Chains A and B, each alone.
Chain A
Amino acid sequence: KAGVTQTPRYLIKTRGQQVTLSCSPISGHRSVSWYQQTPGQGLQFLFEYFSETQRNKGNFPGRFSGRQFSNSRSEMNVSTLELGDSALYLCASSHSGYEQYFGPGTRLTVT
């Protein structure tokens, strides 16, 4: 079974731009969660999608948004990028909200 895939793996953007990250879950998994990992704040929950509906949201500003498609693939979007958005963005999928399997991450650098 293929694992969770994330694209792109690395990204460099400029302040003020927007970015879209993609996550393809393990086949059959309907839940996709997104996390931001930084050295200072650690791993922070962004949001969770299940069957195209946002089921939970972390404490991030509205510049962070996401969506899930009917094939369970998910995208997250960050608008008006700030330097502090530089991070490793991890996506995890699970079957019915049980054990999560993480993708390799997208490393975003904002300059």
Chain B
Amino acid sequence: ELKVEQNPLFLSMQEGKNYTIYCNYSTTSDRLYWYRQDPGKSLESLFVLLSNGAVKQEGRLMASLDTKARLSTLHITAAVHDLSATYFCAVENDKIIFGKGTRLHILP
């Protein structure tokens, strides 16, 4: 059974700092997704990673995928308050399984 683990589950950081969220999964996967969720809102798609070594960047966020290590990372560069949200990774093989989410709080 596919399991997806994110860490940390909660992260409080200062503006301007860099940090990385990790997503480990237990079996081989077709695709890996990163989503953002603001409080009381739905999920917004950030990245879709399809192959080993895939790297995608959008603004201050960069996601990468290592299928051999079954690991994806979401790196935040020079964090700003607007990036405060909960970030989910999700892994697909037969169905899509979500991690528990990382609640990111960026202090001004």
Residues of A within 8 A of B (CB): 33, 35, 42-45, 48, 56, 58, 90, 92, 98-105
The answer to whether B43 has its CB under 8 Å from any CB of chain A is yes
A104-B41 CB under 8 A given contacts A42-B100, A99-B33: yes
B48 touching A99, Cβ below 8 Å: yes
Report the interface size class on chain B.
10 to 19
CB neighbours (8 Å) of A99 from chain B are 33, 45, 48
Interface of A is mostly: strand
CA distance A107 to B59 in the complex (A): 32
Tell me which of A42, A45, A104 contacts B101 (CB under 8 A). Answer: A42
B43 touching A102, Cβ below 8 Å: yes
The answer to whether B96 has its CB under 8 Å from any CB of chain A is yes
Interface of B is mostly: strand
CB neighbours (8 Å) of A43 from chain B are 88, 90, 98, 101
Residues of B within 8 A of A (CB): 33, 35, 41-45, 48, 88, 90, 94-101
- 25 A-B pairs with C-beta separation under 8 A: A33-B96, A35-B98, A42-B98, A42-B99, A43-B90, A43-B98, A44-B98, A45-B95, A45-B96, A56-B94, A58-B95, A90-B43, A92-B43, A99-B45, A99-B48, A100-B33, A100-B45, A100-B96, A101-B45, A102-B35, A102-B43, A102-B44, A102-B45, A103-B42, A104-B41
